[in-house]
Amino acid sequence: MNLKFDIVTFATLTHAMKARKYLGKAELKSKLIKLDSTKTVMGCTYGLEFNSKDVYDVISILRRNGIDYNHVIGGADGDIS
């Protein structure tokens, strides 16, 4: 099933993993990905891919738990398994 997904980016793998843990506790599916460093401003960057309909919940959870993120990239087609 193809869904629209967004990606939230992080400067470190540690932040991405911590964010994934909190999203999982909130029963939000996400997939840890490494972004192409040639296509990102910050070079080596990690991200979490998640269903676009959850974007406001994801950002709220990150802010509530003090997890710094860089950007939210939105609107791609994909499948989070």
56 in any annotated domain: no
26 in any annotated domain: yes
**pLDDT of res. 36:** 75
17 in any annotated domain: yes
Q: Name the residue range of residue 72's domain.
A: 3-45+65-78
Number of domains into which the chain is organized: 1
The model scores a pTM over 0.85: no
23 in any annotated domain: yes
59 in any annotated domain: no
Distance of alpha carbon 10 from alpha carbon 34, whole angstroms: 10
3 state DSSP class of 77: strand
54 in any annotated domain: no
Question: What residue ranges of the chain have pLDDT lower than 50?
Answer: 81
15 in any annotated domain: yes
Do the beta carbons of residue 29 and residue 35 sit within 8 Å? no
AA identity, residue 12? T
At CA 73, angle to CA 44 and CA 80, rounded to 5?
90
**Hey, what are 21's tokens?**
């843990």
